[in-house]
Amino acid sequence: MAALHSYVNGDWHVPSDGGMPVHDAVTGEEVARISSAGIDMAAVLDHGRRRGGPALAELTFHQRAALLKSLASYLREHREELYALSARTGATLGDSTFDVDGGIGVLFSYSSKGRRELPNDTVYVEGPVEPLGKGGTFVGQHVCTPLRGVAVQINAFNFPVWGPLEKFAPAFLAGVPSVIKPATQTAYLTHRLVELMVSSGLLPEGSVQLICGGVGDLFDHLTDQDLVSFTGSAATGQRLRTHPVVAANSVRFTVEADSLNCSILGPDTEPGSAEFDLFVKQLVTEMTVKAGQKCTAIRRALVPANRIDDVVAAATARLAKVVVGNPASPEVRMGALASLEQREEVRRSLKALLEAGTLVYGDPERVEVVDADPERGAFLSPLLLRCDDPDQPQPHEVEAFGPVSTVLPYQTTAQAVDLARRGRGSLAGSVVTADTDFAREVVLGAASRHGRMLVLNRHNAQENTGHGSPLPALVHGGPGRAGGGEEMGGVRGVLHHMQRTAVQADPAVLSAITGQWVTGAPRNTGDQHPFRKYLEELRVGDTVVAGPRRVTMEDIEHFAEFTGDTFYAHTDEEAARANPFFDGRVAHGYLVVSFAAGLFVDPDPGPVLANYGLENLRFLTPTYPGDEITVTMTAKQITPRVGAEHGEVRWDVDVTNQDGASVAKYDVLTLVAKRPGEQG
């Protein structure tokens, strides 16, 4: 059997030794050999920094997002072969879709977030401009630029596709090249994934590399511009994060480690109620999906003391229906663990758990399997424990990384919160209840020791994504024992790969640096109305000044009657005067905004296609009958859409009165056409 090749330095590297064997989780046959012998680790990092980084830097966020989408579609076309290899890791088809489709879903999700929430630029501007001086000549703003290093991504064995992709997507979008290191046990599946990624031809050379086998002296060559994202055991995470080079160079280091996640049944739930059934169903699902080899699986089921017998009875009845065996057999609900070693590891952990509780379902040494040899394959029965003394330490400390959970009783809400917190930092927790007060008390009480909390009840039962499913839009990670890291969480995960820099300058320089117009930067009020310009012709700072227009009492009365907005401040002089903010009747804010549109608009058909909204609208000074308003509208940000015939233009609008005071400020959002024939 040939050893897996690594993809490094722009080529597939053949290991210089025979490598160690990796076995099929179901049949015990050798699937592959693995070794990284002969790889020059310093050169791998260098290749990422010299080839991948600069190639990515030439692309805008939107261009990278478009590549992620194409990559996702390409991988989706090849998912059947990924499923086939996934079955060899012991996964059922359901488990494989969770891993493979889940990973592809992360690419789609980041692609869409990149196009919607990031600019079509290479710099991300974060937060508002901060005035730093009274005269308006000194301002500050935060900008984020990609680290000029490599994201080293070390993955656990249990999600050989989703794991690498959830780390790769935000790094790629940020413009940082990835070095993927899969766990040995299931590296053959990640290897095929990376083969597909490379053969897609979509990714710039150097933006992704793969190391099959150990990482050798790679950590010795990390710099301050590199990052490490690690998923695996707390012990390995701890060892790697304290590597002297990581400490000396302040290398950004994220750990996603193990976690004793809990699910809490509310005291309001009678057996037979929707919530009771949801709780039991979810518990069994979490025990059996991926044979319980999920960092987010429920390890502790916390239930009201007077319900423990009912929960145990219902869960065991459900577990009895779970068919274990060869994932290729259609009736099989739970496949094998990833390896025989992993099974031994779970049996060892179970022994520790049995010091505190008793087994109420399953036998760790014996399991009936369908269409497979129970000894050659890493099969294990689901194992449910009951521990009537919830203060025993083991259930809160020992993670058996397999189909193992413990049911524990609680007496009061405060005790439920206390027990949830005893995991000392978890990735995910769930509360199953229809009692809103209970949900609030538990979530707020336990939140500081949880990365994600799901409240499940009959109302979201159909749509909920489940206790164990991390989502690209939400953070995945947890405090304390869970590693103290955060991954994904939408744009947060992208910014993790970038440096945030506070830039202080005068408005013109700040505007030139960020590519966005800021108050105080020069305006260009040329002859041509900016609405007559195609996207390519428009420049940040292009401005139209229009007005003045006098606002009369007749206007206010007409507007009140026409819209039905007869609020007293516009219609009743005495009442308006009594209001602490007004000296008499005032114009409606929306009347001012409407008049402003009437002033700045250039009405004939032209490049401006539509107004799709306003943002940050503030009414700052009242407008009284007789006031004269002038509007100044300035192109603030221009965002061409990749592959479309238009782009987005954000305009700064400042409506002022005859004294020069701002009456209203806001951003107008428009769609503007590219010159005919331009789509790039």
Q: Which is nearer to ligand NAP, 231 or 430 (CB)?
A: 231
DSSP 8-class letter at 55: H
- Token pair belonging to 115: 């196009």
Residue 260 as a binder of ligand NAP (CB under 6 A): the answer is no
Q: Which is nearer to ligand NAP, 125 or 446 (CB)?
A: 446
Task: Pick one of 24, 99, 226, 258: the residue that binds ligand NAP (CB under 6 A).
Answer: 258
Q: Which is nearer to ligand NAP, 59 or 218 (CB)?
A: 218
Q: Among 70-78, 156-164, 244-252, 519-527, which window interacts with ligand NAP (CB under 6 A)?
A: 156-164
The residues, ordered by sequence, that sit 6+ positions from 372 with a Cβ below 8 Å of its Cβ are 26, 27, 325, 326, 336, 379
DSSP 8-class letter at 122: S
User: What totals of helices (H) and strands (E) does the chain contain, helices first?
Assistant: 21, 28
- Token pair belonging to 656: 């002022």
Q: Which is nearer to ligand NAP, 181 or 588 (CB)?
A: 181
Query: What is the rounded CA–CA span in Å between residue 75 and residue 70?
Result: 9
Q: How far is the CB of 407 from ligand NAP (least distance, A)?
A: 20
Instruction: Find out whether 141 and 521 touch, Cβ atoms under 8 Å.
Output: no
Instruction: Find out whether 273 and 311 touch, Cβ atoms under 8 Å.
Output: no
Q: Which is nearer to ligand NAP, 167 or 333 (CB)?
A: 167
Q: Among 15-23, 251-259, 552-560, 612-620, which window interacts with ligand NAP (CB under 6 A)?
A: 251-259
Q: How far is the CB of 234 from ligand NAP (least distance, A)?
A: 7
Interaction mask 82-111, ligand NAP, x per CB under 6 A: ------------------------------
Q: Which is nearer to ligand NAP, 267 or 403 (CB)?
A: 403
Q: How far is the CB of 107 from ligand NAP (least distance, A)?
A: 18
DSSP 8-class letter at 391: T
CA contacts within 13 A on the Cβ side of 578: 5
Which residues, listed in sequence order, are joined to residue 550 by a DSSP beta bridge?
A: 628
Judged by CB under 6 A, the number of residues near ligand NAP is: 21
What are the Cα distances from residue 264, in Å, to 300, 311, 369, 438? 8, 12, 31, 10
Residue 471 as a binder of ligand NAP (CB under 6 A): the answer is no
Instruction: Find out whether 474 and 450 touch, Cβ atoms under 8 Å.
Output: no
Task: Pick one of 154, 319, 416, 420: the residue that binds ligand NAP (CB under 6 A).
Answer: 154
- Token pair belonging to 282: 């979810």
Task: Pick one of 27, 97, 236, 579: the residue that binds ligand NAP (CB under 6 A).
Answer: 236
Task: Pick one of 61, 157, 253, 531: the residue that binds ligand NAP (CB under 6 A).
Answer: 157
387 flagged as catalytic:
no
Residue 427 as a binder of ligand NAP (CB under 6 A): the answer is yes
Q: Among 89-97, 110-118, 253-261, 269-277, which window interacts with ligand NAP (CB under 6 A)?
A: 253-261
Instruction: Find out whether 145 and 156 touch, Cβ atoms under 8 Å.
Output: no
Residue 226 as a binder of ligand NAP (CB under 6 A): the answer is no
Helix axes 93-117, 79-87, angle to 10 degrees: 140
Residue 257 as a binder of ligand NAP (CB under 6 A): the answer is yes
Q: How far is the CB of 156 from ligand NAP (least distance, A)?
A: 3
Residue 233 as a binder of ligand NAP (CB under 6 A): the answer is yes
DSSP 8-class letter at 87: H
CA contacts within 13 A on the Cβ side of 42: 2
The residues, ordered by sequence, that sit 6+ positions from 672 with a Cβ below 8 Å of its Cβ are 533, 534, 535, 538, 607, 608, 609, 646, 647, 648, 649
Task: Pick one of 256, 275, 310, 648: the residue that binds ligand NAP (CB under 6 A).
Answer: 256
Task: Pick one of 240, 446, 556, 673: the residue that binds ligand NAP (CB under 6 A).
Answer: 240
Find the catalytic residue in 144, 166, 212, 256: 256
Query: What is the rounded CA–CA span in Å between residue 396 and residue 107?
Result: 35
Query: What is the rounded CA–CA span in Å between residue 274 and residue 185?
Result: 40
Find the catalytic residue in 262, 295, 387, 487: 295
Helix axes 79-87, 61-77, angle to 10 degrees: 60
Q: Among 143-151, 252-260, 436-444, 497-505, which window interacts with ligand NAP (CB under 6 A)?
A: 252-260
Residue 156 as a binder of ligand NAP (CB under 6 A): the answer is yes
Q: Which is nearer to ligand NAP, 253 or 438 (CB)?
A: 253
Strand, helix or coil for residue 667 = strand
Amino acid at 530: P
256 flagged as catalytic:
yes
| Torsion sign across C-alpha atoms 659, 660, 661, 666 | positive
Instruction: Find out whether 139 and 520 touch, Cβ atoms under 8 Å.
Output: yes
Q: How many other C-beta atoms lie within 10 A of the C-beta of residue 482?
A: 29
Q: How far is the CB of 349 from ligand NAP (least distance, A)?
A: 10
Q: Which is nearer to ligand NAP, 147 or 212 (CB)?
A: 212
Residue 158 as a binder of ligand NAP (CB under 6 A): the answer is yes
Residue 184 as a binder of ligand NAP (CB under 6 A): the answer is yes
Residue 295 as a binder of ligand NAP (CB under 6 A): the answer is yes
Query: What is the rounded CA–CA span in Å between residue 619 and residue 593?
Result: 9
* Catalytic residue ranges: 256, 295
Residues that bind ligand NAP (CB under 6 A): 154-158, 181, 183-184, 215, 231-233, 236, 240, 256-258, 295, 399, 401, 427
